[in-house]
Structure 1
Amino acid sequence: MYSADKARKPTVTAARPAETEERTRDRVLQGVLTHGPVSAANLGELLNLTPAAVRRHLDALEKDRLIEVATHRQPGAGAGRPARRYVIAPRGHSELGNDYLDIARSALTMLQEAVGDDALRSFATARAAEMEARYRPIVEAAGSEIADRAKALAEAMTRDGFVASANVMSPPTSAAARLPEHLLASIQLCQGHCPVRDLAQDFTVFCDQETQIIADLLGVDVRRLSTMAQGAHVCTTHIPLGRVELPEPSVLPTPKTQDQTGT
C-alpha cells in the first residue's frame, strides 16, 4: 500500500510544472503583444521573470513562429550590433484572435465578385460606423483636447483587442538650433494587434475606413504611417496637435566698426 501511494506522487507533481510553463508562456506572448518591440531584458522586468526564464519562453515562441525578432537601433547609438526586439509574428496574430478568417475571406470575396466593389465598401463602411458609434461617447467624454481624446480612444480600442497606445511626439529641444522655427507636435496612435489584419491585406478598404473614423472622432486630419496589413509590426497613425514655438536663438550684439565709433 505504501509503495502504491509513493508511485502515484510523481504523476501529480509532474503535471504542475507543465501547467505553470504554459501559463507563463502565454504571459510572455501577451507581453510581447502589449509592449513590442521589446527586449528580453525589459520583458523580464515587466513580467517579473528571471532572464533565463524569459529567454527560454521567447526561444520557444520564436521556434513556434508566434514571435519574431525585429532589429532595432537606438537613436544616437552609432555603429554596432542592433538591439534585438521581439514582436508578434503573423502566425501569432492568428493565434490571438483571427477566428473564422478563411470563412470571412471567402464571404467577402464572393460579395465583391457577385455585387462589386461598392458592396464591399458599404460593408466596411457599416463596420466602421459601428466602431465610431461605440467610441464616440467615450471620446466626447474626454473633453476637447486632442491629446485627451486620443488617449481615451486608445484605451477604448485596447478593450476591443487592438492593444493601442497614444504617445505624444515632442520636438527634440537639443536640436532646436538646426530645426525650422516652427514644428508640428503630434501624437502617434499605435495599434499592436489588428483583429482583421489578414483580411485587410486583401481588402484595404478596412484600413481606409478605420483611418477615417479616427479622423472623425478626433476632429483633425490624420495620416497612416504604417499598417500591419502592409507588413509593419504595428499600425501607426499620425495625429497633429498644433504648432510648437521653439526658443528664439540668442543673438549676439553686432560689433561696432571704426566708422560707427568715429575713432
Structure 2
Amino acid sequence: MDQRHQFRHTGVVKTDATRRVTEEGAGRAPSAVEPTHASSPVVIGHEGHTRAAVVRLLLEEGPITASEIGRKLGLSAAGVRRHLDALIESDEAREASTVAVRHRGRGRPAKYFQITAHGRGRLGHAYDDLAGAAMRQLREVGGNSAITEFARRRVDAIVGNVEAVDGQNSGEVEKTAGAIADAFTEAGFAASIRPVGHGVQICQHHCPVSHVAEEFPELCDAERDAFTELLGTHVQRLATIANGDCACTTHVPLGPAPPQPPST
C-alpha cells in the first residue's frame, strides 16, 4: 500500500521541518519537528496557540499519547502534561478508554487522550441556530423531500471534483477514498483515511454541522450515499459525531474478505 494513504494527516494542524513551538515556562528552546504535511512555515509561540495546537492534535489524531503530542509539537513532557491537565480539568479532553485504543508492544501500556464532546463544541458551530431554523422552515414548505434534496446538493458541492471509481480496483478505491477525505477537509471536517482490516476507514474528526445533523440525519445519510456512489462499493457508517461519537467513521471495503475457516 502506498505509504501516503496509510493515515492522512490533513493539515488542520500543519507541521513541517521549519515549524517550532516555544513552550512558555518550560525552559526549553524551540525545536524542529518531523514533517507531516507540505505547508508553509508556521510558528506557534503563545500559550493560547500552543494549547490550541494540542487540542487540534487530540481532534485529528486522538486517541493519542502525551509523548506523541510532544514529539509532533516539540514540547517537553512537562509542557504536554500541563496542557493536558488543564484540558481535562475544563472537560475538553479525557483519558481514552482501553476499548478505544490498542496496546502496541510489550510493557506497561501508554495512556491515550482524546477530545471530549464539550471540547469539540468549543471549536465552534457557527450559525447553528440560524441553520436549524432555516432547515425547519424548508421542511415546513417543501416536506421531507426538500430536506433530502438540500442535503444531497450540499454534499455534491463538497465532493464535486472527486472522480468516481471506474471498476473495482482496490487501489483506485483507496485513492478515491483519500480524495474524498481531502475534499471534506477543505470543507472543515478534518478528515483522514486509515487502513483497517480488509479496507480503509474515512474518518471525519470534526463536523461543522453536527448540531444541525442531530435534528436532520438526512445530512449524514446524504454523505454515506455519495460515498457509495463515488467508491462503487457498499460502505458502512460505523459512527457519527451527531450521535455523540468521537468521529464520523465510514468503513470502505477493499475487495472481498478472505474466506473464513470452516467451523468445527
Report percent identity of matched pairs: 37
- For 2:31, the equivalent position in structure 1 comes to none
Write the distance in 2 (CA, Å) between the matches of 1:83 and 1:207: 34
Write the distance in 2 (CA, Å) between the matches of 1:83 and 1:232: 23
Q: Pick 1 or 2: higher relative contact order, CA cutoff 8 A, min separation 6.
A: 2
Which of 129, 132, 135 lines up with 2:159 in the alignment? 132
- For 2:185, the equivalent position in structure 1 comes to 158
- For 2:15, the equivalent position in structure 1 comes to none
What's the TM-score, normalizing by structure 2? 0.70
- Pick the structure with greater CA Rg: 1
Deviations 1:154-201 (A, max 9, x none): 22322322222222223xxxxxxxxxxxxxx21111111111111111
Structure 1 position 65, deviation (Å):
3.0
Write the distance in 1 (CA, Å) between the matches of 2:93 and 2:47: 17
**Partner of 1:71: helix, strand, or coil?**
coil
**Partner of 2:162: helix, strand, or coil?**
helix
Alignment check: 8 A CA contact 2:201 2:252 kept: yes
Does residue 32 of structure 1 match 2:58? yes
- For 2:229, the equivalent position in structure 1 comes to 216
What's the TM-score, normalizing by structure 1? 0.71
Instruction: Please list every run of 5 or more consecutive structure 2 residues that lacks an aligned counterpart in the other structure.
Output: 1-22, 26-44
Structure 1 position 17, deviation (Å):
5.0
Write the distance in 1 (CA, Å) between the matches of 2:253 and 2:75: 38
Letter of the 2:82 counterpart? R
Which of 245, 250, 253 lines up with 1:240 in the alignment? 253
User: Taking structure 1 as reference, are residues 205 and 49 closer, same or farther at Cα in structure 2, changes over 3 Å only?
Assistant: same
Which of 18, 22, 45 lines up with 2:48 in the alignment? 22
Deviations 1:78-112 (A, max 9, x none): xxx98643222223333324211111112212322
Alignment check: 8 A CA contact 2:163 2:176 kept: no
Does residue 200 of structure 1 match 2:213? yes
Write the distance in 1 (CA, Å) between the matches of 2:252 and 2:130: 34
User: Taking structure 1 as reference, are residues 63 and 52 closer, same or farther at Cα in structure 2, changes over 3 Å only?
Assistant: same
Does residue 227 of structure 1 match 2:230? no
Alignment of 1:1-263 (within 5 A): 20-73=46-99, 74-75=101-102, 84-136=111-163, 145-170=172-197, 185-243=198-256
**Partner of 1:135: helix, strand, or coil?**
coil
